[in-house]
Amino acid sequence: MTIQTLGERKKQIRLLMKYAVAEEHLERAKSFVNMYENDAIALNLFHTFYSFLPDGCDDSIEELHLLTRKQGVFLICATTMHADYIYLVTTERAEFLGKLTDGIWEEEILNFFRIADRDTFIKKYGDLSHASTYTPVNEAKDLCPVCSAASGEHHTSGCPLEICPWCDGQLTNCNCRFTIMNKDHLEKEAHIDAFQKLLNEKGRIPFDAERDMLAYPVSGDH
Ligand SMILES: [Zn+2]
Ligand SMILES: [Zn+2]
């Protein structure tokens, strides 16, 4: 997501908030959103929350806690005036999962984060005093600024920051896919799958904050 679309997203959120937040809480709720204005993850969460208020009555988010994250998928708890709600968030979208006290029911999600079951989730994450405040991704220097992979994790497929293991160039831009596959272009799904397989065999280069953040132009302080 580009900075411009983040700006658009923030505008939409501000509009939604006019209807979702009680007048007397609006300023405080807005300044909370401002803290995360360059963060696609938080903005997606705000957008989903203010579009579909979980309890259907005026409410606003006062705190965000990071429960866990993996491969650019974040499990975040939003504390509002009424309750603590769980959201599953990526740079693409946010999904409401329910109240923190109810835990997570979806097995697919529990499996993804390697959490045994709902009770284990509640025991491990139910008490927010042990959780860390969610910090904007652009301030979290240990995450890929584009796909949010952590150090040691693979980038999301297609992330422009992934390094090519054959030429050390930018994997989304270099010519290795054509040379390796001995083709002018890869048009068929099968070609792309075959290339992915070769790439996995060669060994994808995971994100490394120390190495990769030096190369990435970080936007100046505001
Ligand atoms: Zn990445
Ligand atoms: Zn290459």
Residues 28-58: pLDDT tens digits?
999 999 999 888 999 999 999 999 999 888 9
Cα gap 187→74, rounded to integer Å: 33
Q: Tell how far the Cα of 150 is from the centroid of ligand 2, in angstroms.
A: 22
* Residue 4: band (very low, low, confident or very high) from pLDDT cuts 50, 70, 90: low
CB-CB neighbours of 23 under 10 Å: 8
* Ligand index nearest the alpha carbon of residue 179: 2
Residues in contact with 152: Cβ distance below 8 Å, sequence separation at least 6, in sequence order: 206, 207, 208
* Residue 212: band (very low, low, confident or very high) from pLDDT cuts 50, 70, 90: confident
Q: 181 φ, ψ to 5°? A: -85, -10
Average pLDDT over residues 200-219: 77
pLDDT at 181: 85
pLDDT at 3: 52
* Residue 72: band (very low, low, confident or very high) from pLDDT cuts 50, 70, 90: confident
Average pLDDT over residues 17-24: 94
**Which residue type occupies 138?**
N
Cα gap 125→116, rounded to integer Å: 13
Q: Has residue 216 got a pLDDT over 80? A: no
* Ligand index nearest the alpha carbon of residue 173: 2
Q: 49 and 78 in contact (C-beta within 8 Å)?
A: yes
Q: Has residue 101 got a pLDDT over 70? A: yes
Q: Tell how far the Cα of 204 is from the centroid of ligand 2, in angstroms.
A: 11
Q: Tell how far the Cα of 120 is from the centroid of ligand 1, in angstroms.
A: 30
> With the C-alpha atoms ordered 87, 22, 134, 149, is the resulting torsion angle positive or negative?
positive
Q: Check residues 106 and 212 and name the one with the higher pLDDT.
A: 106
pLDDT at 219: 45
Q: Tell how far the Cα of 15 is from the centroid of ligand 2, in angstroms.
A: 44
Q: Check residues 193 and 85 and name the one with the higher pLDDT.
A: 85
Average pLDDT over residues 180-197: 84
Q: Has residue 222 got a pLDDT over 50? A: no
Q: Tell how far the Cα of 17 is from the centroid of ligand 2, in angstroms.
A: 46
Q: Tell how far the Cα of 199 is from the centroid of ligand 1, in angstroms.
A: 16
Q: Check residues 95 and 92 and name the one with the higher pLDDT.
A: 95
* Residue 74: band (very low, low, confident or very high) from pLDDT cuts 50, 70, 90: very high
Q: Has residue 25 got a pLDDT over 80? A: yes
Give Cα separations from 167 to 144, 174, 182, 202 (angstroms). 20, 8, 16, 12
